[in-house]
Amino acid sequence: MKKDTSFYWTLFLSTFTLSAFTFGGGYVIVPLMQKRFVAELKWIDEEEMLDLVAIAQSSPGPIAVNASIIIGYRMAGIRGALLSVIGTSLPPLIIITIVSYFYLAFRDNPIVNAVLFGMQAGVAAVIVNVVINMVKDITKNKLILPIVVMILSFIAAAFTSINIVVILFICGAIGAYTTHKETQKTKGGLK
Amino acid sequence: MIYLQLFWSFFQVGALSFGGGYAALPLIQEQVIEQHNWLTSTEYIDVLTISQMTPGPIALNASTFVGTKVAGIPGSLVATLGCITPSVIIVLLLAVLYYKYKGLSLVQGVIKGLRPAVVALIASAGLSILLTALFNKDTLPIQWAELDLISLVLFMIGLVLLRKTKIGPIYVMLAAGLARLIIYGLTTL
């Protein structure tokens, strides 16, 4: 891909726009990134997107910031990472700076509240849609282990106070162990 | 001096908040209320409310708000920089390792194990977003009497549009906000 001015501008503008629309928490950036970088720009594929989210989630700091750093790095190295982290940080910086001067009026404004209340329903649709796609993707091979891991992780994350990093660590270890077993089996078969 | 303090406080928030927004809350509270008295408890709750109303990560919203209040716009820049610096360092390191070693079978095994967990985490976040949108609370149990019917309809229309058409997620969000505003306008007139 040509790394010209228009490429860097697209990268910056994409991260800036996505950040400006991550209402409702960091995970909302996942469907937005998927639409932009996987479906529209075709810079990465679906599986790599999930890997990037896994890295973003395993690191400390805001998920949206972490995910954009990896996308930037993937597309254009350190320079790309710095450009996309600036793109992601600017919208909250600008919006909160402005809002902080009249935040009481903003917080109590019924029109602002009506729009935001409506947007919450839209955000819910966006995240439920991406979850349906991702669950379909995990279940399509009809392998038992990933499905069990997914269900147990969901229960742990939604209904217990187990730290997310612990969940990720255990699942990573399960993956490493089963792959190790499989490789051993193949080697044994060759003898 | 105040800039250094702001940078260091939010550097710690960025470096220690594993697991997204909710993990950051106690750390922010510790830094801005207990250690430095930059915000009162009421102001802190206002920051949380505004964070929910505006886009962007809560840690960045808090760093901008506190930075502006304590030391103006330079303060907000320094606090935001402090908050993202640990991410830049740690995530870049992991990204470099991922792209260097992703061919190794052990790394592929770990990643394969992580995929279903990541989907589960997104689903869990999705559940609380859905409950907030429909019932105005983010944890179970819910009360069906509190179900907001307009939200339910907007949610269903949004989901059908996303699944059956090529419409982008941003437009679905904006349209839902606009629809609610129109309904608000009609009911108050």
Q: CB-CB: which of B20, B60, B122 is closest to A92?
A: B60
- pLDDT beyond 50 at A191: no
Rg of chain A's alpha carbons, rounded to an integer? 20
- pLDDT beyond 90 at A70: yes
Q: Are A138 and A38 in contact (CB under 8 A)?
A: no
* Shortest distance, CA A122 to any CA of chain B (angstroms): 4
Q: Is B1 on the interface with A (CB under 8 A)?
A: no
Inspect the interface and report whether the beta carbons of B17 and A104 lie closer than 8 Å.
Answer: no
Q: Looking at beta carbons, which residues of chain B come within 8 Å of A64?
A: 56-57
Last residue of a domain, one of B67, B100, B133: B100
Note whether A114 and A155 are same-domain residues: no
Distance of alpha carbon B187 from alpha carbon B189, whole angstroms: 6
Distance of alpha carbon A23 from alpha carbon A122, whole angstroms: 10
**Polymer length of chain B:** 189
| ipTM over the 0.90 cut-off | no
Note whether B166 and B139 are same-domain residues: no
Note whether A99 and A129 are same-domain residues: yes
What is the mean pLDDT of the segment spanning A94-107?
85
Inspect the interface and report whether the beta carbons of A22 and B55 lie closer than 8 Å.
Answer: yes
Per the structure, the count of domains in chain B is 3
Note whether B9 and B64 are same-domain residues: yes
Q: CB-CB: which of A23, A30, A125 is closest to B155?
A: A125
- pLDDT beyond 90 at A179: no
What would the two tokens of residue B58 be? 């809560």
Note whether B36 and B96 are same-domain residues: yes
* Shortest distance, CA B104 to any CA of chain A (angstroms): 11
Note whether A75 and A122 are same-domain residues: yes
- pLDDT beyond 70 at B19: no
Q: Looking at beta carbons, which residues of chain A come within 8 Å of B118?
A: 50, 53-54, 57, 168
Closest CA to A100 of B67, B36, B5: B67
Tens of pLDDT, residues B110-132:
888 888 988 898 898 888 888 88
Note whether A27 and A108 are same-domain residues: yes
Count chain A–chain B contacts defined by CB atoms under 8 A: 380
Note whether A131 and A164 are same-domain residues: no
Tens of pLDDT, residues B161-188:
999 998 888 899 899 999 999 999 998 8
- pLDDT beyond 80 at B62: yes
Note whether A122 and A168 are same-domain residues: no
Note whether A85 and A149 are same-domain residues: no
Note whether A15 and A64 are same-domain residues: yes
Per the structure, the count of domains in chain A is 2
Note whether A29 and A61 are same-domain residues: yes
Tens of pLDDT, residues A25-67:
777 888 889 889 998 999 998 888 888 888 888 888 888 999 9
For residue B125, give the amino acid letter. Answer: A
Closest CA to B20 of A67, A83, A18: A67
Give residue for tokens 């190794």: B104
Note whether B57 and B92 are same-domain residues: yes
* Shortest distance, CA B115 to any CA of chain A (angstroms): 6
Interface subset of B 114-143, CB within 8 angstroms of A: 114-130, 132-134, 140
Q: CB-CB: which of B84, B113, B119 is closest to A65?
A: B84
Q: Is B146 on the interface with A (CB under 8 A)?
A: no
Classify burial at B48, counting beta carbons within 10 Å of its beta carbon; exposed 0-12, middle 13-18, buried 19 or more.
middle
What would the two tokens of residue B100 be? 């260097």
Distance of alpha carbon A98 from alpha carbon A151, whole angstroms: 42
SS3 of residue B165 by DSSP:
coil
Interface subset of B 25-44, CB within 8 angstroms of A: none
DSSP A27: G
Distance of alpha carbon A17 from alpha carbon A20, whole angstroms: 5
Tens of pLDDT, residues A113-144:
888 888 889 989 988 998 998 899 888 888 89
Note whether A52 and A119 are same-domain residues: yes
Q: Looking at beta carbons, which residues of chain A come within 8 Å of B183?
A: 114, 118
Ranked by mean pLDDT, which of A142-156, A161-175, B92-106, B135-149 comes out on top?
Answer: A142-156
Classify the C-alpha dihedral B60-B62-B67-B69 as positive or negative: positive
- pLDDT beyond 60 at A190: no
Note whether A175 and A88 are same-domain residues: no
**Largest Cα–Cα distance in chain B?**
65
Q: Which domain holds residue B187?
A: 148-189
Q: CB-CB: which of A25, A116, A135 is closest to B21?
A: A25
Give residue for tokens 């839209």: A122
Q: Are A125 and B158 in contact (CB under 8 A)?
A: yes
- pLDDT beyond 80 at B20: no
Distance of alpha carbon A189 from alpha carbon A185, whole angstroms: 6
Distance of alpha carbon A130 from alpha carbon A150, whole angstroms: 15
Q: Which domain holds residue A93?
A: 5-140
